[in-house]
Amino acid sequence: MRSVSGRGCAQGLAVGFLLAACAADLLGTGSEGLAWPTAAVLLVGLAALLWPADRRPFWLTPQLRTAVPALASGALTAGALISGQAVFFGPGEVAILLSLLFVAVRHCPPRWVLLCALLDCAALLTLPVRYYRSLHGDSVGFLAAGLALAGLVAGLAGYVRSLDYRRSVAQEETRRTERLAIAADLHDFVAHHVTGILVQTQMARMMATTRPQDLDPVLAGIERAATEALASMRRTVGVLRDTGPDTADRRPAGDLAAVDDLVAGFAGPGQKAILRRAPDLPDGVPHEVQAAAFRVVQEALTNVRRHAGDATEISVAVSRTGDGLEVTVTDNGHGAVQLPDAARGGGFGLVGLTERVTALGGELHAGPPATHGWEVRATFPLP
């Protein structure tokens, strides 16, 4: 609030100074009977500078705002030369042209920046000709001072424009990173449920002829997995359509507590899923570590369905090792799986897991354990 009120106060002081300077210009020209042309130029310049941004018509572009007042000032200077009559200029018009130069360098489209800036500089530097009708004496000093001021203002505007560009690039990169993270969420959550639907559908087809009386639990599992997949997709698509400051709060998330439900709902007919959680887990594990641990378990269980459909025992262990957290998922499958090749995945899940784990300073290992089967183990350092 303080920064906003301070900015508003500074803007009010700048506008007050500009109006006072323009009033001084009009007082200076009033004695010579040529106030109305100067007033017209000042009015055009003030309108270009002070027109509220939220009320500007679409055609009032930065190039029009900066070029028209400069042309009006140049026309007044040319008229003074043609008529041979000295026309006073003052600090108001100088301040307006410098301000328009700043607007031109900062806001004009790239192909218009040079032209609009040159027009404002030319109008500024030819002001002495309007009064002295030549470049000598005092006009040379004004020309030197005008060049220095124009260079300072243009340099400052160019620097601010570069900051604006860097900010826009950083924002775009942030959006891109966020969308990539959301895409990883979509893979982690939806692929897990869809793979379960596929496996349970195959079971249902086999049981339809041999054990039709046992189909109801399998069909219920398919229904539950489909509902969870649709909910995850709905949340993710909603976030993609409106990525904002609260995006992280609306993205599908998981933690160590959610691992219980994940393991409890995993086992199919003939399978046993066991969760071993160490009692000495520290309190206050960072949320990002919990989310990464959840994703490790989720991806490992999805890979069991894809590549080890014959596994009868799946073990998930969450324990403390030294100063870190260790998550291990093992199965006793032999790799006998009947899923279509298109449903087995291309290994991108483990690649994403590796990136997620290493980004937190951890390590990920995937490979066969001492006995048969497969093991995925991730370790995370804890503060």
Q: Which domains does the chain have, with CATH numbers?
A: 2-134 (no CATH), 254-383 (3.30.565.10)
> Closest Cα partner for 344 from 353, 352, 335, 357?
335
Mean pLDDT, the chain, rounded, equals: 79
**With left for phi above 0 and alpha for psi between -120 and 50, is residue 254 left, alpha or beta?**
beta
**Measured between alpha carbons, how far is 45 from 123 in angstroms, rounded to an integer?**
12
Question: What is the predicted pLDDT for the residue at 191?
Answer: 66
- The percent of residues in the chain predicted with pLDDT above 70, rounded, is 77
**Measured between alpha carbons, how far is 326 from 362 in angstroms, rounded to an integer?**
9
Question: What is the predicted pLDDT for the residue at 101?
Answer: 95
pLDDT at residue 178 is higher than 80: no
pLDDT at residue 119 is higher than 90: yes
pLDDT at residue 248 is higher than 50: no
DSSP state, 54? G
pLDDT at residue 234 is higher than 80: no
- The percent of residues in the chain predicted with pLDDT above 90, rounded, is 22
Residues 63-76 pLDDT 10s:
999 999 999 999 99
Write out the two tokens for 117.
């800036």
pLDDT band for position 256 (50/70/90)?
confident
Could you tell me if 156 and 107 are in contact, meaning their C-beta atoms sit under 8 angstroms apart? no
208 or 340, which is more confident:
208
pLDDT at residue 96 is higher than 80: yes
Question: What is the predicted pLDDT for the residue at 36?
Answer: 84
| Global confidence as pTM | 0.53
pLDDT band for position 236 (50/70/90)?
low
Question: What is the predicted pLDDT for the residue at 251?
Answer: 44
217 or 333, which is more confident:
333
Question: What is the predicted pLDDT for the residue at 4?
Answer: 47
pLDDT at residue 253 is higher than 50: yes
In terms of C-beta density within 10 A (0-12 exposed, 13-18 middle, 19 or more buried), how is residue 11 classed? exposed
Question: What is the predicted pLDDT for the residue at 186?
Answer: 66
Long-range contacts formed by 143-151: CB under 8 A, 24+ apart: 146/94, 149/98, 149/124, 150/98, 150/101, 150/120, 150/121, 150/124, 150/125
Write out the two tokens for 218.
């399998």
Could you tell me if 272 and 313 are in contact, meaning their C-beta atoms sit under 8 angstroms apart? yes
Least confident of 29-43, 224-238, 257-271: 224-238
pLDDT at residue 11 is higher than 70: yes
Give ∠ CA 52-54-55 in degrees, rounded to 5.
70
What integer is the mean pLDDT of 365-376?
83
